[in-house]
Structure 1
Amino acid sequence: MSNFRTLDAAGDLTGKTALVRVDFNVPMEDGRVTDDTRLRVALPTINKLRDAGAKVALLAHFGRPKGERVDSMSLEPVVAPLAALLGAPVRFATDCVGDEARAAIDDLDAGGVVLLENVRFHKGEEQNDPAFAAELAALGDLYVNDAFSAAHRAHGSTEGVARLLPAYAGESMRRELEALDAALGSPKKPVLGIVGGSKVSTKLDLLQNLVSKLDKLAIGGGMANTFLAAMGQDVAASLCEHDLGDTAREIIKAAEKAGCELLLPVDVVVATEVSPNAEARVRELGQLQPEEKILDAGPATVARLEKAMAESRTLIWNGPLGVFEVPPFDAATVRAARTAAALAQSGVLTAVAGGGDTVAALNHAGVVDDMTFVSTAGGAFLEWMEGKVLPGVEALRS
């Protein structure tokens, strides 16, 4: 984390206004917040700034209003639940720039909080228009990015304004960057990766980047079928991108060249339909019937993966090993997740996971709180794993 400026280096903040980019794109129903997780994530940064005597002006987006003011996408419903969590009043400004925003900030006492209206009500936000970024910057003395989930976008409130004010990583952003550095930047070796999910085509960049950085890479889910087929295995009626056989073989060669051991399934769980009532069978490779679909990794495959975890010091995980939403095809994912969590809790393994389906799968296994770190950032987490530059992060480098 020495490469990134954090709030610890911000100096005396008494009376200063901090523009804080947060992720308040929360689930809502009938104008009511139904899950306040993202509000809770922002509390450490908000409270740290309040305790330091700063005024806190929160920047956020909600939905995709495409540069137009859309009443149903206002952030105003967030104010009450946020105030309840903070145990302090939260003002609301009906715009994020201009006189309304300025007046709301000027009216705050030291330690006061105002939520500014949806930044995406302005076309300049997603266009990263310098004029819009300058309007934002005019409201504050410093900028804090606490929204890693939006850091892969070069928008006005994530990258543009960070170039115009002293810019720092918030507490949530700091934890995310530290965890990702521990997983891929400067990890304890050996490093094991697990990549699952349905399609190779959605994770080509990820796989090509990881084979050059990992000691072992386990591939699961539907994407494993594409690799098995590329190696001449019959995957019967399973989901498989047969047209990506050459690509799979290239990744296999790249892994061999980099000294990364690929762990593909050695046995599988099959059924003729994806349903809770389906009759599931364990098959060794080469034993599938024509109508059978591979829907989960088999017990021998999981046992080998558990052994690899025990021999590793760092694990980075993205994607389930099977159709975990439909038991009994959740067995491999649940068993592997619980093993990873137990090793993390014992201090043997640094276990970092992220990406949409991954979080849901780990929640299903009941181990989210037992992993070293679970990122809810989705696209930003994947782009980091792919080795791509994240504009919102780059703007925070020392």
Structure 2
Amino acid sequence: MRYKSVCDVELSGKRVLLRVDYNVPINSLGEVVDDTRIVSSIPTIDYLLKKSAMVILCSHLGRPNGVRVKSLSLEIILPVLMDYLNNRNIMFTDDCYGDKAIDLTNSMKPKQIIVLENTRFWSGETNNGFSMAKGLADLADIFVNDAFGVAHRAHSSTVGVARFLPSVAGLLLDKELTYLERVMTKPDRPFVVILGGAKISDKVGVVEKLIDRADCVLVGGAIANTFLKSTGIEVAESLVEESAIDTAYQLLARAGDKFILPEDVVVANAMEVGADKVCKNVENGVDNGYRIVDIGSETIKLFSKHIARAKMIFWNGPMGAFEIPDFACGTNAIARSVADSDAVSIVGGGDSASAVRQSGYHNHISHISTGGGAALEMLNGNILPAVEVLDRICQTNLSN
């Protein structure tokens, strides 16, 4: 990757269109439930303000499918953003591009901030439409992409606009790419991969590549159920991806001793707090009416030994149904082991990130990704369109 970062360009007095990822969960009261992505954008915003730039923030929120949805307006995030920017005044416009937005951005002064309306209120966003991309570009002098969570999407605000403006990576995007590039090319050893979550089919390509790179792969969560069933172990009512059982068996054969499955599991008769639960050795199978909800105590000890020896750890997917407190023990214990290790630790986005934050050990992790889908795409060896366009711009400038 040869893109330039925000640190490589002159910013003073410039109007900077900053693409952030504020696609955050909102509750029924219109409140931000998890502000991690907002917090992650603050270093780049602070850097731009320090350099006396005029900051124009754009992002999507949810999937309004090209129409205005009041509950998905980016105005919702303003109070949270202001809190993290020391109550700095932030302007908001219910437009994303066009004459009204141009007039507002043209009147900006250094160190001022404007938040544009949800980019997905316009169909041109997801279509990577020429008019919208050009309209966004007309607002600014420089484009800075800091939205790793949508780097795998070729949208107007991630790819199209970069065709019309000098374009660079923000601090967060650069950090995400640096850590994941390290996993892909030069992992410190021993390199331990922790895999969890629900579906194998979503991660086959990534799992295959990680098998080749990792020294060991620790498998938990519902993914482990499918692997266990592929070896003939009875898992009863456990969540299993039936269509992926053959794939699981083939991956186990390919991985050999690298793959470490649970030795014992916690099983319960219902997915709810207070359900009857017991720890069982996997060789004995799961009784009818019960399902696997977490890894067991012996598995926690086994996994923790491997984690303690690691020099680099990549974790994607919780160890069980962590969202239910009674079944979060395994995930919390693994989070603690990762936090206590001396390894460089990288946690994939999505449920993995939520699980680590819920455990309370998130401040002891080297890097928690803000983009689960983008991270998996990159680890699978796929090109991220939003990064590719930055690379191409940089290479074009070098050849001129």
Tell me by how many angstroms 1:367 deviates: 0.7
- For 1:66-87, what per-residue CA distance to the aligned partner results, in whole angstroms no more than 9, with x for missing partners? 2223444332343454344324
Identity of aligned residues (%): 39
Counterpart of 2:293 in structure 1 is: 295
- The superposition leaves residues 341-383 of structure 1 with CA deviations (integer Å, 9 ceiling, x where unpaired) of 011xxxx201111232212221232111111111232322332
Partner residue of 2:346?
352
Closer, same or farther in 2 for the Cα pair 1:60/1:242, shift >3 Å? closer
Q: How much does 1:327 deviate?
A: 4.3
Structure 1 equivalent of residue 213 of structure 2: 213
Q: Distance in 2 between matches of 1:225 and 1:162?
A: 44
> Residue 270 of structure 1 aligns to which amino acid in structure 2?
V
- Residue among 315, 321, 324 paired with 1:323: 321
Moved more, 97-106 or 71-80: 71-80
Query: Which residue number corresponds to residue 191 of structure 1?
Result: 191
Structure 1 residue aligned with 2:13, among 9, 12, 15? 15
Question: Which residue matches 1:230?
Answer: 230
Match of 1:262 in 2: 259
Aligned partner letter, 1:85: Y
* CA distance in structure 1 between the aligned counterparts of 2:286 and 2:94, rounded to whole angstroms: 62
2-structure distance, mates of 1:384, 1:196: 18
Map of 1:56 onto structure 2: 55
User: Greater shift after overlay, 226-235 or 332-341?
Assistant: 226-235
Q: Map of 1:19-98 to 2, 5 A cutoff?
A: 19-28=17-26, 29-31=28-30, 33=32, 35-86=34-85, 87-98=87-98
**Paired letter, 1:205:** G
Q: Counterpart in 2 of 1:132?
A: 132
Distance 1:125 1:293 in 2: 43
Kept in 2, the 8 Å contact 1:230–1:242? The answer is no
Counterpart of 2:107? 107
Is the 8 Å Cα contact of residues 233 and 285 (structure 2) preserved in structure 1? no
Quick check: 51-60 or 195-204, which moved more? 195-204
Question: Against the structure 1 CA distance between its residues 287 and 70, is the aligned structure 2 distance closer, same or farther, given a 3 Å change threshold?
Answer: closer
Deviation at 1:289, TM superposition (A): 5.1
Greater shift, 71-80 or 364-373, is seen at 71-80
SS at match of 1:158: coil
- What is the alpha-carbon distance in structure 2 between the residues aligned to residue 330 and residue 31 of structure 1? 28
- Equivalents in 2 of 1:332, 1:36: separation in Å? 25
Q: Is the 8 A contact 1:229 1:242 kept in 2?
A: no
- 1:35 Cα deviation after fit: 4.8
Give 3-state SS (helix, strand or coil) of 2:140's partner.
coil
Give yes or no for contact 2:318–2:355 (8 Å, CA) kept in 1: yes
Residues 229-238 or 366-375, more deviating: 229-238
Query: Is the 1:67–1:122 contact (alpha carbons within 8 Å) kept by the matching residues of 2?
Result: yes
The 8 Å contact of residues 193 and 218 in structure 1, kept in 2 or not, is answered as yes
Conserved 8 A contact 1:92-1:104? no
| Distance (Å, rounded) in 1 between the aligned partners of 2:163 and 2:99 | 23
Change (3 A) 1:104 1:222: same
Query: 2:398 is matched with which residue?
Result: none
**1:336 corresponds to:** 334
Count of residues in Structure 1 that have an aligned counterpart in Structure 2: 389
The CA deviation at 1:178 is 2.4
Residues 219-265 of structure 1 show CA distances to partners (whole Å, capped at 9, x for unaligned) of 11122121122122232343323442221122123324xxx711111
Q: Which residue of 2 aligns with 1:387?
A: 381
Distance 1:364 1:375 in 2: 15
Report the Cα distance in structure 2 between the residues aligned to 1:40 and 1:361, rounded to whole angstroms.
17
Change over 3 Å in CA distance of 1:214–1:38 after alignment to 2: same
Matches within 5 A, 1:117-196: 117-196=117-196
AA in 1 matched with 2:182? A
CA distance in 2, matches of 1:26, 1:244: 31
The range that moved more, 197-206 or 92-101, is 197-206
Distance 1:252 1:171, change over 3 A: same
Q: Which amino acid aligns with 1:303?
A: K
The change in CA–CA distance for 1:225 and 1:164 in structure 2 (over 3 A counts) is same
Worse overlay, 109-118 or 232-241? 232-241
Aligned-residue Cα RMSD (Å) equals 2.3
* Equivalent residue letter for 2:377: E
Letter of the 2:271 partner, please give it: V
* 1:18 counterpart SS class: strand
2:165 aligned counterpart, secondary structure: coil
Structure 1 residue 34 displacement after superposition? 5.3
TM-score w.r.t. the length of structure 2 is: 0.89
Q: TM-score, normalised by structure 1?
A: 0.90
Aligned residue for 1:394, secondary structure, equals helix
Displacement after TM superposition at 1:111 (Å): 1.9
C-alpha contact (below 8 Å) 1:126/1:155 kept by paired residues: yes
User: Is the contact between residue 80 and residue 90 of structure 1 (CA under 8 Å) also seen in structure 2?
Assistant: no
CA displacement 1:165-194 (0-9 Å, x = unmatched): 221111222222222233334221221111
**Does the 8 A contact of 1:91 with 1:104 survive in 2?**
no
How many Å separate the matches in 2 of 1:231 and 1:146? 44
